[in-house]
Structure 1
Amino acid sequence: MRRVLMLVGILSFLLTGCWDNKEVQDINYITALGVDYKDGNYIIYVQMLDFATIAKQESGKQTEKAPIWVGRGTGTTLAGALVDLYTSSQQRVSWGHVTALVLTEAVLKPDQMSQVFDLTNRSQEIRYTKWVYGTQDSMEDLFTVSPFFQLSPLHSLLHEPKESYDQFSFIRPIQFVNFIRLYRERAATVVLPSIHISSQNWSENLKQHPILEVSGAFMIKNQKLMGWLSRSDLLGTRWLASPHTHASIIVQEEGEAIGSISLEKPQSSIEIIREPDDVAYRIKLNVTGTVQNMYKKVGVSEMKRLTEATLKKEMHTTFHKAALLKADPYELCLQLYRTDPKLWKKLVEQKKEIHDASLRELEVDVNLRFWGQRKNLNR
Structure 2
Amino acid sequence: MNKKILIVLIMLITLISGCWDTKEPERMLYIYGVGVGYKDGKIEIYTQIIDFANIAKSEQPPNPNNIQAEVGHSSGKTEQEAFYNLYKSMDEELYWGHLAYIVFSEDLLKSGKMDSFINPFIRFLNTRYLTWVYSTNEPLKEVMLVTPILNKAISLSKLSDPLNSFRQDSTIEPLNVRQLILKLDEPSYEVAIPSVSLLHNWETEKEKNMITTLNGVSVVTPKGFKGNISGDKAKGLPWMDKKTKRAELSIMLDSEGKRYITGNGKVDAVKVTPIVKNNSVSFDVNIKMEVELGGFQGSIKEKTVKKEVEKEVKKEIRDTFKEGLSIDADVYNLSEYLYRKDPKAWKKLQKNGKVELNENSIRNIKVDILVNSGRKNFKETLRR
Q: Tell me which residue corresponds to 2:163.
A: 162
User: For residues 9-88 of structure 1, what are the structure 2 equivalents within 5 Å?
Assistant: 9-17=9-17, 18-55=19-56, 58=59, 61-88=62-89
Q: Tell me which residue corresponds to 1:343.
A: 345
Q: Which amino acid aligns with 1:238?
A: P
SS of 1:15 mapped into structure 2: helix
Q: Which amino acid aligns with 2:294?
A: Q
User: For residues 297-336 of structure 1, what are the structure 2 equivalents within 5 Å?
Assistant: 297-336=299-338
Q: Identify if the C-alpha distance between structure 1 residues 178 and 352 changes in structure 2 by more than 3 Å, giving closer, same or farther.
A: closer
Q: Which amino acid aligns with 2:67?
A: A
Q: 2:373 is matched with which residue: 365, 370, 377?
A: 370
User: For residues 186-197 of structure 1, what are the structure 2 equivalents within 5 Å?
Assistant: 186-197=187-198
Q: Identify if the C-alpha distance between structure 1 residues 364 and 145 changes in structure 2 by more than 3 Å, giving closer, same or farther.
A: same
Deviation string 1:164-210 (CA, Å, 9 cap, x unpaired) is 011221110101100011012231431101111111x2111162110
Deviation string 1:140-159 (CA, Å, 9 cap, x unpaired) is 11111111222222111110
Tell me the TM-score normalised to structure 2 length: 0.90
Deviation string 1:204-247 (CA, Å, 9 cap, x unpaired) is 11621100111211012464421111132111111222335212
Deviation string 1:112-140 (CA, Å, 9 cap, x unpaired) is 12211222122111111100001101111
Asked if 1 retains the 8 angstrom alpha-carbon contact of 2:55 and 2:61, the reply is no
SS of 1:239 mapped into structure 2: helix
Q: Which amino acid aligns with 1:369?
A: N
SS of 2:183 mapped into structure 1: helix
Q: Tell me, in whole angstroms, the C-alpha distance in 2 between the residues paired with 1:349 and 1:369.
A: 44
Q: Tell me which residue corresponds to 1:353.
A: 356
Q: Tell me, in whole angstroms, the C-alpha distance in 2 between the residues paired with 1:374 and 1:312.
A: 26
Moved more, 78-87 or 341-350: 341-350
- Tell me how large the CA RMSD over aligned residues is: 2.5
Q: Tell me which residue corresponds to 1:245.
A: 245
Q: Tell me which residue corresponds to 1:215.
A: 215
Query: Is 2:232 the partner of 1:229?
Result: no
Q: By how many angstroms is 1:13 displaced?
A: 2.9
Q: Tell me, in whole angstroms, the C-alpha distance in 2 between the residues paired with 1:74 and 1:143.
A: 17
Q: Tell me, in whole angstroms, the C-alpha distance in 1 between the residues paired with 2:61 and 2:74.
A: 35
Q: Which amino acid aligns with 1:217?
A: V
Q: Tell me, in whole angstroms, the C-alpha distance in 2 between the residues paired with 1:206 and 1:257.
A: 38
User: For residues 252-291 of structure 1, what are the structure 2 equivalents within 5 Å?
Assistant: 252-253=252-253, 254=255, 255-291=257-293
Q: Tell me which residue corresponds to 1:148.
A: 149
Q: Tell me, in whole angstroms, the C-alpha distance in 1 between the residues paired with 2:44 and 2:81.
A: 9
Moved more, 330-339 or 173-182: 330-339
SS of 1:108 mapped into structure 2: helix
Q: By how many angstroms is 1:97 displaced?
A: 0.9
Q: Tell me, in whole angstroms, the C-alpha distance in 2 between the residues paired with 1:296 and 1:155.
A: 41
Query: Is 2:159 the partner of 1:123?
Result: no
Asked if 2 retains the 8 angstrom alpha-carbon contact of 1:273 and 1:282, the reply is yes
Q: Identify if the C-alpha distance between structure 1 residues 366 and 58 changes in structure 2 by more than 3 Å, giving closer, same or farther.
A: closer
Runs of 5+ consecutive residues of structure 1 not aligned to the other structure: none
Runs of 5+ consecutive residues of structure 2 not aligned to the other structure: none
Percent of residue pairs identical: 28
Q: Which amino acid aligns with 1:43?
A: E
Moved more, 335-344 or 207-216: 335-344
Q: Tell me which residue corresponds to 1:294.
A: 296
Q: Identify if the C-alpha distance between structure 1 residues 323 and 268 changes in structure 2 by more than 3 Å, giving closer, same or farther.
A: same
Tell me the TM-score normalised to structure 1 length: 0.91
Q: Tell me, in whole angstroms, the C-alpha distance in 2 between the residues paired with 1:114 and 1:290.
A: 42
Asked if 2 retains the 8 angstrom alpha-carbon contact of 1:186 and 1:221, the reply is no
Q: Tell me, in whole angstroms, the C-alpha distance in 2 between the residues paired with 1:14 and 1:185.
A: 53
SS of 1:116 mapped into structure 2: helix
Deviation string 1:21-45 (CA, Å, 9 cap, x unpaired) is 3333211111011111111111111
